[in-house]
A and B are shown apart, each in its own frame.
Chain A
């Protein structure tokens, strides 16, 4: 599924993810984690991948089941950015005093059993795996 950098696209995407997870009879915990990483990863791309948008901004999204794992792939044509290298939020500072940013990526890393990033042909490609048996 391909969407643009608008929240309406993410909402359509979420509905498609819901349908897929239901068809796969995903266990509740896996379902929550998949929804979370999709929401956070795609929101992060929408917010930050195109600081000065010119031309088409596209996000290619794929969700599949491989062996028992759910595999999320997010590919965008935005600026080069590896979210896996982003620093985590400053949890020593109370949440209401903390600088905003970083929480979504932190939650992606925490909710995924494995995560990999590569830059290929002017695209960011993020692949996340979530175990589907819990």
Chain B
């Protein structure tokens, strides 16, 4: 009897240690910045993600019903304000269009490098991550729709993150709120570089900003275009707090993302489409067409 108990104890200890070692080995090999999906994970995601999607769509329809038919307070006033804003924006778009044409001409003259254009895939956010340690969102588009790993994800307001995991019909986004997501940032006013990563309470922080840099609260941070994931010029956030300690060579910068993650419903995934044609030839062709 005692021998049996000792044998059982040894078996328990052995199993614990073996499984723990396998888990620790897996942890050492695991990359928290991207996830290659296994067949089994794909099967589970493809089974349950449609239910997540259905629930989110239903919630959207209920919210829309209440907003459009029940809570129609101040609708006319809001309508007038929005019409005026649209007119102003149309004017700005026209002016920017002219600036864009001039930019292309000047780039052609300066014989700028290879241009990369992006395909845009619109997706809906259907669920979030079950863990509180990672800030991940699930969207309803996958490899079947052309989504690729490490594709940047944006909205009209700014940067959301990049594609972390892809299955056939669904993908997971590692957002900029996650400490594992590091974005090469640029403070547009001072052209100061730094690394933006997730912090706490839906904010980010920018590291390696030299303490002598004249940054102020309210400065906008965009992507710098380095690091091979995010294209240049996408808004990331606005400086919310700056702390300078009495020692050290850097300052501690906290920023509020320009994207409202509390109300994020739709995102755009940018899929890189490398332009193999020599950009000079393309620019010249564009100029010729404009002249005609």
Question: Real complex partners, A and B?
Answer: no
